Chain A
């Protein structure tokens, strides 16, 4: 919402929340994967690379848009 300027940290948190949610989900999975004895679980984890790239790339896009539009215009 580009009409608001100088947003708080909470506004920025909300603006990135869909990206952070998926990233946090992936990190949580990695944490659970460390409990598994079979190291091949990490090879299976490579199948999530497309999703991970999509998440990171969307974060970069949102960040660049926010930079272009001024402070706090992430969403």
Chain B
């Protein structure tokens, strides 16, 4: 079976074993509980997370449902692709890992900024779906999974002989490149999917978006994909239970390290770069 055009993965188990089934039950239950509680808090008790009540265009029930269904369908298809190429265990790790890693990173930036726990305010989501993972729409977390998986696959197709680090770097560049356009579009008053809270005079902006955002986009995909690509052999060498525990411990460690790096980067940008907005025609 020709599994991977990179050189990290060579063999896989095609079927589900008892550990896979146990893992999907545990992870699925935890995620479901978080989604139900978060959605309840966001819509019915917004004062808990101090949810901003900003009126935004095109944010009806049907708009949100469409967004949710679209990302679910794309996630399902990409999940099937991952399953067929890497097997159930690696797919679960990629799905839950990317969902949790990017979701928690976004939540930490949003909530710590909102409650004044970091030196600057960050951003918040205005819309994006019917359910939430704490303060991040589920559709955004699913979008991260789709983006991360698709980009690493495409990187492997284009550069089949690349190693894990190079492949993750190429994938991260693709994602960051797309975000150079996506952030100005999505934050424009005509769309308002999310809102940046930093004052334009407080830090360096590119296309009216804080510069650190683009670096953070590169990093968040890069770190997760390196970890996932390196993980592939773990369950063979140390067993699935230990490999899973090690994977999620690395996820938590990377979140802490990465959060510190992003905050440090923004403070460095503020201290060293001119506080100007580099735009093209005002975008």
Contact in complex: B78, A18 (CB < 8 Å): yes
- Contacts A37-B190, A38-B283, A41-B283 hold; do A48 and B77 have CB atoms under 8 A apart? no
Contact in complex: A62, B157 (CB < 8 Å): yes
- Chain B residues touching A, majority SS: helix
**Chain A contact residue count (CB 8 A cutoff):** 39
Q: Whole-angstrom distance between the alpha carbons of A15 and B1 in the complex? A: 15
Contact in complex: A48, B180 (CB < 8 Å): yes
Q: Whole-angstrom distance between the alpha carbons of A57 and B159 in the complex? A: 11
Contact in complex: A21, B177 (CB < 8 Å): no
Contact in complex: B280, A14 (CB < 8 Å): no
Q: Which residue of A lies closest to B151 (CB)?
A: A22
Is there a chain A Cβ closer than 8 Å to B174's Cβ? yes
Within 8 A of A (CB), among B153-181: 153-155, 157-158, 173-175, 177-178, 180-181
Q: Which of B16-24, B40-48, B79-87, B237-245 contacts A (4 or more CB under 8 A)?
A: B79-87
Q: Which residue of B lies closest to A23 (CB)?
A: B150
**Which residues from A are CB-within-8-Å of B80?**
14, 17
Q: Whole-angstrom distance between the alpha carbons of A49 and B52 in the complex? A: 35
Is there a chain A Cβ closer than 8 Å to B184's Cβ? yes
Q: Which of B146, B150, B185 contacts A33 (CB 8 A)?
A: B185
A-B pair number, CB within 8 angstroms: 119
**Which residues from B are CB-within-8-Å of A48?**
177-178, 180-181
Q: Which of B74, B175, B207 contacts A21 (CB 8 A)?
A: B74
Is there a chain A Cβ closer than 8 Å to B10's Cβ? no
Contact in complex: B78, A40 (CB < 8 Å): no
Is there a chain A Cβ closer than 8 Å to B186's Cβ? yes
Q: Which residue of A lies closest to B189 (CB)?
A: A36
Q: Which residue of A lies closest to B207 (CB)?
A: A44
- Closest-CB distance, A38 to chain B (whole angstroms): 6
Contact in complex: A44, B81 (CB < 8 Å): no
Contact in complex: A32, B177 (CB < 8 Å): no
- Chain A residues touching B, majority SS: helix
Q: Whole-angstrom distance between the alpha carbons of A55 and B146 in the complex? A: 14
- Contacts A13-B77, A51-B174 hold; do A18 and B154 have CB atoms under 8 A apart? yes
Contact in complex: A36, B81 (CB < 8 Å): no
**Which residues from B are CB-within-8-Å of A45?**
181
Q: Which of B77, B143, B158, B178 contacts A26 (CB 8 A)?
A: B178
Contact in complex: A19, B281 (CB < 8 Å): no
Give the most central of A22, A39, A45, A61: most B CB within 10 Å. A22
Contact in complex: A32, B185 (CB < 8 Å): yes
Q: Which residue of B lies closest to A15 (CB)?
A: B81
**Which residues from A are CB-within-8-Å of B78?**
17-18, 21
Contact in complex: B281, A43 (CB < 8 Å): yes
Contact in complex: B282, A40 (CB < 8 Å): yes
Contact in complex: B146, A1 (CB < 8 Å): no
- Closest-CB distance, A11 to chain B (whole angstroms): 9
Within 8 A of B (CB), among A1-58: 1-3, 13-15, 17-22, 24-26, 29, 32-33, 35-41, 43-45, 47-48, 50-51, 54-55, 57-58
Task: Give A contacts to B, CB under 8 Å.
Answer: 1-3, 13-15, 17-22, 24-26, 29, 32-33, 35-41, 43-45, 47-48, 50-51, 54-55, 57-58, 61-62, 75
Task: Give B contacts to A, CB under 8 Å.
Answer: 1-2, 74, 77-78, 80-81, 84-85, 143, 146-147, 149-151, 153-155, 157-158, 173-175, 177-178, 180-182, 184-186, 188, 190-191, 207, 280-283
